[in-house]
Amino acid sequence: MSTRLPARRYTRALSSRFVDLLCPDGPLHPLVSFLGDRIGRKDGKSVDVHFRERDKLMFYVGLTRPLVLTLSGNGRHITASADKFYREVDQSLFCRVAIEGSAEMVKRWLGHLATIVVRDRDWCNEGWVQNSLSRSLSGANATGKIFLLDRESVIGYSDKTVKADLWGVVQTRVRTFGKKLQEENGWANPSGCGDELDCILWDSGQQELMITEVKNGSNGGGGIYYAPLQVAAYHNAWCDFKNAANADQCSLWTGLTAMVRQKQLIGLLPKNDQLKWPDVPKGIGIRPVIVVPKLTRGGQTRSRLRAVHLAVANWCKENEYPSMDNLRIYDWTENRLVDISKDLLSDCK
């Protein structure tokens, strides 16, 4: 009898070969020690790095990618790419290089990451927030109880039909409810929910995955006050993934654990006496979270955010969707998370 393949997957761990190359005695280690040592850029627009499917190492500045490295040629070569803007600056950086003898190109890539000009428009909005969260809540020396495991996180699906049946259904009902809120209140049109969740945080004290949407509070408007609806969609999808049939549930936990252990080994997450990542997923919770720095006190955006949260929480309860009663909202100030849920949601019962 054949074993059913998972309909959903989370497979961002690298191959063992790529991990060996990135470990302290590997030829590519300077690329991640550059991050672990918190070597910044003179313009303050620092770099963070994350794993991606198909053996990719993706470097970010804000929401842009100045360098993407892919292991190729049965682990004998590394291929460099980047977003178009960066490729056009110096095309000689973006090529296929043999691992053996790659030291000079590694130095050039490091110089590129340290000095490349990043446009303000690629850094503004939530890009700088995601970058700052990643830099402060990950790395071998990260402390505290909350850590960033991944950013721009995506659930993979076995095919387009499965994706439409699982994620597409969630998107449609959230879009419909958002339109209802807009029409009843005369507010701005809500934006849709794309495939990418901004961040997965890990609360080691509460043993919870924090399904996190990031906003820039200084922008104000519908992008902020509709955030509870947006994060409800992702919370629904990830809760459903976690609670699904064994093949999917195993895929989620196996994928997350493989990625976490590799990041610990390389130095992109702290050791387990600090991280407290469990060997068995029993009792692990999932919490919806919004991180919104620079949110002005008082005003229309705050009152509407409270109203949207109350409406979304009731909607989820009435339809037996994953509860939004445990939503947490954080400010991000001086490189630390500050829980402002009580202040923002005090009118919600």
The pLDDT value recorded for residue 53 is 93
Residues contacting residue 37 through CB under 8 Å, at least 6 positions apart: none
Q: Give the Cβ contact number of residue 246 at 10 Å.
A: 9
CA distance 34 to 31: 5
Check: CB of residue 231 under 8 Å from CB of residue 289: yes
Residue 249's CB is within 10 A of a number of other CB atoms, namely 16
What confidence score (pLDDT) does residue 219 get? 67
Report the amino acid identity of residue 228: P
Are the C-beta atoms of 85 and 67 separated by less than 8 Å?
Answer: no
What the block records as the tokens of 211 is 């399904």
- pTM of the full predicted structure? 0.93
User: Buried (b) or exposed (e) across 61-94, using 16+ Cβ within 10 A?
Assistant: bbbbbbbbbbbeeeeebbbbbbeeebeeeeeebb
Q: Would you list the domain boundaries of the chain?
A: 9-119, 132-345
Phi, psi (rounded to 5 degrees) for 288: -75, 140
Q: pLDDT per position in the chain (349 positions), as tens?
A: 344 568 899 999 999 999 999 999 999 999 998 765 544 566 778 889 999 999 999 999 888 999 999 999 899 999 999 999 999 989 999 999 999 999 999 999 999 998 888 888 888 778 889 989 998 999 888 889 999 999 999 999 999 999 999 999 999 999 999 999 999 998 888 877 889 999 999 999 999 999 999 998 776 676 888 999 999 999 999 999 988 866 777 788 889 999 999 999 999 999 999 999 998 777 889 999 999 998 876 678 888 999 999 999 999 999 999 999 999 999 998 889 999 998 888 754 4
Bridge partner residues of 78 (DSSP): 71, 97
CA 50, 53, 54 angle in degrees (round to 5)?
Answer: 120
Q: How far is CA 91 from the centre of its chain?
A: 29
Tell me, what amino acid is at 211? I
What was the pLDDT predicted at 2? 42
Sign of CA dihedral 67, 254, 232, 330: negative
Q: At what angle do helices 29-36 and 103-115 cross, to 10 degrees?
A: 30
Unique residue bearing structure tokens 């690298």:
14
Q: What's the pLDDT at 186?
A: 87
Q: What residues contact 71, with CB distance under 8 A and at least 6 apart? A: 14, 15, 17, 18, 21, 55, 77, 78
Whole-angstrom Cα distance, residue 344 to residue 346?
A: 6
Eight-class DSSP state of 235: H
- Rounded to whole angstroms, how far apart are CA atoms 65 and 116? 11
Q: 288: helix, coil or strand?
A: strand
Q: What is the pLDDT of residue 308?
A: 93
SS3 at position 134: helix
Question: How confident is the model at residue 193, as a pLDDT?
Answer: 85
Contact predicate 81/42, CB 8 Å:
no
